[in-house]
Structure 1
Amino acid sequence: MALLRKAGIALAATGAAHFAAPKMFEPISRVGFPQDTEAWIKRNGATELALGLALTTKKTRRAGLVGVAAYFGWLGARVAYQRRNA
């Protein structure tokens, strides 16, 4: 499962980048999180870091996959809701 490990590393790096360069994530985060965007950038970064790390090891990979599916489903729903109600 080298592909999932690499995907996990990429997701974890993206999560860490939320803390290193939060302004880079502001335009996209504001779409789904127009209120308190700065705090949501950090929350989403922490979530992506944790889920990415979960994908990197065989022992936690299944939970990581479930978490990734739930997280991205929730993000999509959040963005759709905000766009409908903006």
Structure 2
Amino acid sequence: MALLRKAGIALAATGAAHFAAPKMFEPISRAGFPKDTATWIKRNGATELALGAALTTRRTRKAGLVGVAAYFGWLGARVAYHRKNAA
């Protein structure tokens, strides 16, 4: 489980980086959130921070794993939708 704890710390740090350096996330965020990208960068950062924190403790790890799976599935669906409908 040490690996999941480390992954949680990394995900939480990535989430925090959305606030510290939002410009860095613009190109990737625009793919799934072409409208109001700046707001979505913050929303996604907050989500990643919370999910990462959930992975760091045994008590919330299962919920965190479910949340991470749902979140990344949703992100993938958003990107796929916008790529398909961009034309």
Task: Provide TM-score, normalisation by structure 2.
Answer: 0.98
Q: Counterpart in 2 of 1:15?
A: 15
Q: Counterpart in 1 of 2:46?
A: 46
Is the counterpart of residue 27 in structure 1 residue 27 in structure 2? yes
Deviation at 1:19, TM superposition (A): 0.1
Identity of aligned residues (%): 88
Instruction: Look up the equivalent residue of 1:45 and give its one-letter code.
Output: G
Instruction: Look up the equivalent residue of 1:28 and give its one-letter code.
Output: I
Distance 1:69 1:31 in 2: 19
Give the unaligned 5+ runs of structure 2. Answer: none
- Paired residues, what number? 86
Give the unaligned 5+ runs of structure 1. Answer: none
Give structure 1 regions of 4+ aligned residues with deviation exceeding 2 angstroms: none
Is the counterpart of residue 69 in structure 1 residue 65 in structure 2? no
Task: Provide TM-score, normalisation by structure 1.
Answer: 1.00
Deviation at 1:21, TM superposition (A): 0.1
